[in-house]
Structure 1
């Protein structure tokens, strides 16, 4: 029986997705409690946003550091340590007497929560060859599904008992949910399967003419470019709707449309990647995202904004998972955790940079029009890098490895 794309591989995929949906709550919970934190500490909007900023910085660093740990110690050890870190961060947050203390706790929460994104994507990629695209896409969707499900689950508890109760509850859920499930992932990929994957990725790397390190940095730059563009609607759509007079509720609905569209996009992109490979799939997604950003420029009506927001979500969801596929196609299998983690870190930093940059452009110009154009230009950088990489190499089709 084959090691990859086996029955066990699919069981492992389901368990990994469940873990991702729990572990990723760390980056969404702070958004849910932010208004309550702002009211409790009498903070301004910018100050109340600092815990979220620290969460995302931690999340970016955690993707790289925990990814390296997965390569060395395996995913189970990394998950147990990270789940403990998430619970500890939530616990410390409940003791906070200031925004600064909460921000430090959120740095730990964000760092540890990263185990549910890049590191899990890297791990599941070892267990699939022919269906690696859809496997990676489904695990990556755990982040969006976590963001869609947990805020609704926690809303009533927040209103009834306060944000500290919410955090204590999530600390318990993380420990009880992630650690037992991680024990089912103790099996390691056989050495012969990893050697076969290594041989294939080396052939692809030679065809590109780039060293793994050079390609990693190039993908990191591309990730920053696409996510600076991606952040404009995702981070600012609520504020944009408020400026247009539609109110924050409408903006929140448009954001939900983006996230749900993103889940669908990730699944479809995964199926496409299994046929075309990571580079072509990323190029398609990036081109569609650029088109969606162009559509925002003339859109000011309520209906048109809903439609364009859905189009944007359906366009961009598959972009980030495609980077993980490219890493696996071109880079050493034994370094997958660190390499995928680095590129995921770059995409998250791109989101952070783009969110700030769009706000700065708005402050200077008094309009989001130039911010959309800025996103289009950064998106163009991503497209140019993918076209250049595609012109230099032709990844070989994967071959299933027998046990």
Structure 2
């Protein structure tokens, strides 16, 4: 009598819950810098582009960390990678509090971003091994940890920022990261059986042959597409707080809009995960990218307080499922044993797009004196993503996953 499959099992769902909790803590490194950006700009007397540099370095570190830590997860397992990364996040936060210049803070944020990446691509790759039939929703839920982190922590940290300053915020998060991530990571020590890896390898090879693209060619294509969509995505996410300050609404209102945007993104990711289990990653990504482009157009006429709240929610509801779809495409078409590195590479490209877009929007603001051209720039980059996905869809024949007999 064959053993019960471990994928899509009760254990898989329990592991998913633990993974989501870890993601909500580990991802705070990429959101805390957005909350403190206006305070940093004021303290160091920096311009908008210069004040965006710590965020840009955070995202560069986050991008590199997705690839490097993803490879480490393939080799050493997720638990050891999480413990090392938690120590790195806490150390980076502590060092950042010693900053006396934008340059020093940016270097510290590079480390924070690198280590925080463990809560995104590496965790997505790990959980994808434990699901087959419900992989779309599983990946979407873990990816939602990034948005839940961005929705919850800015609201929690805003009061501390006003009362004690950004350095107190960073010391607090250093302690929270160590106390939260390390104990939870010890519960993820179990490894997937070798026969499950072999079955997943067979499924990915069948899909790869149907697409007519080599894994390397598809990986580079997805990387370019990821840069395009995330340059567009970064404009509202990175600059919404600063935008609200410019309009006279204050940073607290901007933090609320960011939280609303990211909560909408959580809903979008869950719906997209359910959709991906039926349509596959390519079609789901194309739907999300098209909706994101339409939402960016809505920002152009918006300027009132109510309209910005509404458009921020629409934007979140539109784009949340885009990035998880890349991970699903990787798992559908690329070798399962290389999931950490392959997912990490594509996630790296999307984060580099966020870093480029965050800086580019600040530079456009400094040159033009407004964010209108920055929104238009995002729309153009979004168009590149849509074009690439349409091309990929025209030559792809994704197969619906079915559990292989054990």
TM-score by length of 2: 0.91
Runs of 5+ consecutive residues of structure 2 not aligned to the other structure: none
1:270 has 2:237 as partner = no
Instruction: Provide the residue aligned with 1:336 in structure 2.
Output: 339
Q: 1:80 to 1:100 in 2, by over 3 A?
A: same
Instruction: Provide the residue aligned with 1:29 in structure 2.
Output: 32
Instruction: Provide the residue aligned with 1:305 in structure 2.
Output: 308
* Contact preservation (8 Å) 2:52, 2:362: no
- The one of 212, 215, 218 equivalent to 1:212 is 215
1:91 has 2:67 as partner = no
TM-aligned CA deviation for residue 33 of structure 1: 3.8
1:108 has 2:111 as partner = yes
Root-mean-square deviation (CA, aligned residues, Å) is: 2.3
Q: How many residues align?
A: 403
Q: Deviations over 1:53-79 (max 9, x none)?
A: 222211111011111111111111111
Q: Which moved more, 1:150-159 or 1:242-251?
A: 242-251
Within 2, Cα distance between the matches of 1:230 and 1:247? Answer: 22
1:323 has 2:352 as partner = no
- The one of 346, 353, 377 equivalent to 2:380 is 377
Runs of 5+ consecutive residues of structure 1 not aligned to the other structure: none
* Contact preservation (8 Å) 1:2, 1:400: no
Within 1, Cα distance between the matches of 2:43 and 2:267? Answer: 38
Instruction: Provide the residue aligned with 1:60 in structure 2.
Output: 63
- The one of 285, 288, 291 equivalent to 2:291 is 288
Within 2, Cα distance between the matches of 1:114 and 1:208? Answer: 30
- The one of 3, 7, 17 equivalent to 1:4 is 7
Q: Deviations over 1:106-144 (max 9, x none)?
A: 211110010000100010001011111111111111111
Structure 1 runs (4+) greater than 6 angstroms displaced: none
Other structure's SS at 1:184 match: helix
Q: Which moved more, 1:280-289 or 1:297-306?
A: 297-306
Other structure's SS at 1:189 match: coil
* Contact preservation (8 Å) 2:52, 2:359: no
Instruction: Provide the residue aligned with 2:129 in structure 1.
Output: 126
Within 1, Cα distance between the matches of 2:116 and 2:319? Answer: 22
Within 2, Cα distance between the matches of 1:218 and 1:375? Answer: 19
* Contact preservation (8 Å) 1:4, 1:400: no
- The one of 379, 391, 402 equivalent to 2:394 is 391
1:223 has 2:226 as partner = yes
Instruction: Provide the residue aligned with 1:50 in structure 2.
Output: 53
TM-aligned CA deviation for residue 272 of structure 1: 0.7
Within 2, Cα distance between the matches of 1:174 and 1:37? Answer: 22
1:358 has 2:361 as partner = yes
Q: Deviations over 1:314-339 (max 9, x none)?
A: 00000011100000001001111111
Within 2, Cα distance between the matches of 1:13 and 1:350? Answer: 28
